């Protein structure tokens, strides 16, 4: 058995041997000067997979999201997002700090902001008191709602509203391909319902670094400038684009395994004393467990699981997260399930 079963995040995935070989032999140029052929191939492939005009390779998902917010807004504007979204919770105040916009968070139980609540949150731009609402952000899958997939009909209705109000939609699709597997809806269908899409290469897809920002040619031209402002223009970055191409070619199709392992885990621990978890709500590769007495606190549970060789992330006094990915398999899930059982039932 391995020393550690690491369920902290799918960001911990290690590059495959083939990715490492591709890094060593990558043909490179200077991407800021626009002549790294490996980056160009990656960007063309990402745009094609999402059915949009162009793509930009960025160092992280956070930078991809923040570039999108910056391109779509002016300082003083307001953006609408979900109250547990990554952009709101975990990007260190980026919208305010980088783009000078304020946020209008909408609380939900499943990540899907009710259409009526979004409509009611759009400001009256003819009123000089009001900021201009210039962007709606969605997250699919939704990390802090336990990897929930946003229903396609919901996204269609949101799109209708956005077109009517002429407010663009940015999709934080860090784990978009996990949603594709869970729903059977293609990445192109999801992308067609947004004006810009960010997805991560460095999570379930296993590339060591990087995310893609995808949209119209005009959007990506503006995004390229903002990436430079943020210091995200990289030089012989073909060495990182090469494993990312392998991620897109070879790692997308296996993500259903991670979704299945998360479901297996959820079924294995739901019903244990103190565990609040409905396995039906585990759509993809994230299992969020709420703890109530007699379960210990999330911090204590984390420690006791770690003593048994299983890593997780406590996300609050009574919330703990487990993420499945290519470097944990069924055996790791069994190990976690039985460790969980030991801790909770003694
Ligand atoms: N999520 C990380 C942490 O930052 C919480 C994780 O372990 O889940 N959008 C979503 C929905 C994300 O979950 C993340 C990362 C990002 C954006 C940012 O990606 P990176 O880490 O590449 O900046």
| pLDDT averaged per 10 residues, the chain (length 346) | 94 98 98 97 98 98 99 98 98 98 98 98 96 98 98 98 98 98 98 98 98 98 98 98 98 98 98 96 98 97 98 97 98 97 92
Looking at ligand 1, which atom is closest to the CA of residue 60?
22
Pairing between β-strand 54-58 and β-strand 169-172 as defined by DSSP bridges: unpaired
pLDDT of residue 6: 98
Task: Identify the three-state secondary structure at position 248.
Answer: helix
Task: Identify the three-state secondary structure at position 100.
Answer: coil
CA of 175 to the centre of ligand 1 (A): 9
Pairing between β-strand 319-323 and β-strand 286-291 as defined by DSSP bridges: antiparallel
Which residues share a beta bridge with 320? 289, 314
Report whether 102 contacts 131 (CB < 8 A): yes
Report whether 106 contacts 118 (CB < 8 A): yes
CA of 174 to the centre of ligand 1 (A): 7
CA distance 288 to 115: 25
* Closest listed residue to residue 167, CA positions, set 97, 85, 78: 78
CA distance 159 to 16: 38
- The rounded Cα 186 to chain-centroid distance in angstroms is 16
Instruction: Give the residue, by CA position, lying nearest to ligand 1 atom 7.
Output: 9
CA of 28 to the centre of ligand 1 (A): 28
Looking at ligand 1, which atom is closest to the CA of residue 175?
11
Can you list the domains of the chain with their CATH numbers?
5-12+254-345 (3.90.1150.10), 17-250 (3.40.640.10)
Angle at 116 between CA 113 and CA 121, to 5 degrees: 80
CA of 125 to the centre of ligand 1 (A): 32
Around ligand 1, the residues with Cβ closer than 6 Å are 9, 11, 60-62, 65, 86, 90, 139, 143, 172, 174, 200, 202, 211
* Closest listed residue to residue 340, CA positions, set 268, 287, 288, 262: 268
pLDDT of residue 85: 98
pLDDT of residue 346: 80
Residue 314 φ/ψ, nearest 5 degrees:
-75, 130
Q: How many residues does the chain have?
A: 346
Looking at ligand 1, which atom is closest to the CA of residue 59?
22
Looking at ligand 1, which atom is closest to the CA of residue 142?
11
pLDDT of residue 1: 76
Looking at ligand 1, which atom is closest to the CA of residue 172?
9
Q: pTM of the full predicted structure?
A: 0.98
Strand order in the sheet with 78-82: 54-58, 211-215, 196-200, 169-172, 133-139, 78-82, 102-106
At which residue do the structure tokens 């995200």 appear?
232
């Amino acid at each position: 058995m391995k020393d550690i079963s690491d369920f902290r995040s799918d960001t911990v995935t290690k590059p495959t041997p083939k990715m490492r070989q591709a890094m060593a032999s990558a043909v490179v140029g200077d991407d800021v000067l626009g002549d790294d052929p490996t980056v160009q191939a990656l960007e063309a492939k990402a745009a094609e997979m999402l059915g949009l005009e162009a793509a930009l390779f960025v160092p992280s998902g956070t930078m991809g999201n923040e570039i999108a917010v910056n391109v779509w807004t002016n300082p003083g504007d307001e953006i609408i997002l979900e109250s547990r979204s990554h952009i709101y919770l975990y990007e260190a105040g980026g919208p305010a700090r980088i783009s000078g916009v304020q946020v209008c968070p909408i609380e939900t139980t499943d990540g899907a902001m009710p259409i009526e609540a979004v409509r009611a949150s759009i400001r009256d731009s003819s009123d000089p008191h009001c900021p201009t609402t210039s962007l709606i952000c969605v997250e699919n899958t939704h990390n802090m709602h336990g990897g929930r997939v946003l229903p396609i009909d919901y996204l269609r209705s949101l799109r209708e509203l956005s077109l009517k109000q002429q407010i663009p939609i940015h999709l934080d699709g860090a784990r978009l391909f996990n949603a594709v597997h869970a729903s059977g809806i293609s990445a192109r269908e999801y992308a067609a319902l947004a004006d810009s899409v960010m997805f991560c290469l460095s999570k379930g897809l296993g590339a060591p670094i990087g995310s893609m920002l995808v949209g119209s040619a005009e959007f990506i031209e503006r995004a390229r400038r903002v990436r430079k402002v943020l210091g995200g223009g990289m030089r012989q970055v073909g060495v990182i684009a090469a494993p990312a191409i392998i991620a897109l070619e070879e790692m997308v199709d296996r993500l259903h395994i991670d979704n299945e392992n998360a479901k297996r885990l959820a079924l294995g621990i739901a019903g244990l004393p103190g565990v609040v978890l409905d396995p039906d709500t585990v759509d993809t590769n994230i299992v969020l467990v709420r703890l109530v007495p007699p379960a210990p606190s999330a911090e204590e549970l984390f420690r006791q699981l770690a003593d048994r060789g299983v890593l997780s992330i406590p996300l609050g006094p009574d919330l703990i997260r487990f993420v499945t990915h290519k470097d944990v398999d069924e055996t790791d899930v069994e190990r976690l399930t039985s460790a969980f059982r030991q801790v909770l039932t003694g």
